[in-house]
Amino acid sequence: MTLHRPLPPDMFDELCPSSLLPFRFGDKWAALVMRCLEDGPRRFSELRVPLARVTPKVLTQSLRGLERGGLVSRTVHADPKAGVEYALTPLGRSMLEPMNAACEWAAEHWDELLDARERHIAT
């Protein structure tokens, strides 16, 4: 079998770590975190508000992962009062575009997605 266009370098290749795959943006919360940073830099405690369901440890994990991936930057301010600021990098910001497209797709088909799931639970 052949695919029209090759995937990134080669998604079928072992070398492609699945964590870099465009549709597996990091961990469980990564996408949500990204969206919370959409409007500008945020401090840790600010992120904890909308992400109340995420424990600090897990949130840190997620942020570290995004940092490693070059999608988020972490800056410790000299003034301790300023805290630590997380922000999207240009790369991270560029990722919002396809991500939001995916979001909109999901929003449009939300009921179909839920239907399909319910139906299979019933069966």
Partner DNA sequence: CCGAATCCATAGGGATACTG
Partner DNA sequence: CAGTATCCCTATGGATTCGG
The residues of the shown chain that bind its own copies, judged by CB under 8 A, are 1, 3-4, 7-9, 11-12, 14, 17-18, 20-25, 28, 30-32, 35-36, 38-39, 42, 46, 49-51, 53, 67-71, 91, 94-95, 97-99, 101-107, 109-110, 112-117, 119-120
β-bridge mates for residue 42, sequence order? 86
Conformation bin of residue 71: beta by default, left when phi > 0, alpha when psi is -120 to 50: alpha
> Under the criterion CB under 7 A, does residue 44 sit at the interface with DNA?
yes
> Under the criterion CB under 7 A, does residue 36 sit at the interface with DNA?
no
**Partner from its own copies, DNA, none contacting 8, C-beta within 5 to 8 A by type:** its own copies
Structure tokens at 69: 């991936």
What sign has the CA pseudo-torsion 65, 58, 89, 96?
A: positive
E strands in 26-81: 42-43, 72-76
Residues that bind DNA (CB under 7 A): 19, 27-29, 43-46, 53-58, 60-62, 74, 83-84, 86
